[in-house]
Amino acid sequence: MVRLQKYLADAGVASRRAGEQFILAGRVCVNGQVIRLLGTKVDPERDKVTVDGQLVAAKKLVYVAMNKPVGCVCSRKDELNRPTIYELLPREWSTVQTVGRLDFNSEGLIFLTNDGQFALRLTHPRYGIRKKYLVTVEGEVKHATIELFKSGIYHEGEKLTALAGRIVSGTRAKSVVELELGEGKNREVRRLFESQALTVKKLQRIQIGKIRLAELKPGKWRTLNPVEVKTLIGDL
């Protein structure tokens, strides 16, 4: 069951705000009955929804979790003709878009969807969806560096902050660090380490919200189930 205004938005009829106005104006019917109550829920599989007498067909929403491999981009087309992650998906999913990005040399968990509200909820800073990264760094990373990241540093005029962090393993030659971030600023993880003259050798996103990368292999994908989607965005 979904809210009627979300059903209208998912079908491409109107934005959710405009859909609410349609409902209040008595322009929307469910199974032949005029609906004026905001928050009314419908079953996309069973209910017949019309706007101004025209049938509204529900768009099948797709939610995909992929393990993005190194050496491909998150754009549909690349000016350098590099491989894209869209080449790893079925052709019929031509309307899905990435939720955020991972750069060419980064790997790990990324979502793709044709649900604009889902994408907004996961990328807008006000929702605070946490993302966890496993970072291999050249040289030794000290605990003081992690604490500095948590207090926040300024880089290129922008404040970058890690919500949490820990050193998984470390030697003088190499360190493995786990960082948790709440925003999706451009190259944020790499820039944190660059600010301390540390070179990132491997960057992998291992978790978004409560969804873990787990055993998903590089280049492979799976669809998210309804329970997983709800843990990420709640009841929209």
**Domains of the chain, start order:** 2-55 (3.10.290.10), 63-126+211-233 (3.30.70.580), 130-208 (3.30.2350.10)
Q: How far apart are CA 193 and CA 174, in angstroms?
A: 13
Q: What is the pLDDT of residue 234?
A: 76
**Catalytic choice (10, 43, 78, 103):** 103
**Gap between the Cα atoms of 5 and 19, Å rounded:** 5
- Token pair of 214 as six digits: 């787990």
**Which residue ranges in the chain fall short of pLDDT 50?**
none
Residue from 96, 98, 151, 100 nearest 124 by CA = 100
Q: Exposure string (b/e) for 151-177, b if CB count within 10 Å is 16 or more? A: eebeeeeeebebeebebeebeeeebbb
Look at residue 235 in the predicted model and tell me its pLDDT.
Answer: 55
Does 103 participate in catalysis according to the annotation?
yes
Q: Is the pTM of this model over 0.85?
A: no
Distances (CA, A) of 84 to 15, 17, 73, 108, 113: 30, 34, 5, 14, 16
Which letter does DSSP use for residue 94 in this model? T
**What is the pLDDT at residue 18?**
93
Helical spans, DSSP H, in the chain: 4-10, 16-24, 116-123, 143-151, 188-194, 226-233
Encoding tokens for residue 222?
């799976």
Q: State the amino acid at position 11 in one-letter form.
A: A
Give the residue carrying structure tokens 């944190």: 192
Nearest to 58 by CA among 15, 10, 20: 10
Nearest-angstrom CA–CA distance, 26 and 158: 47
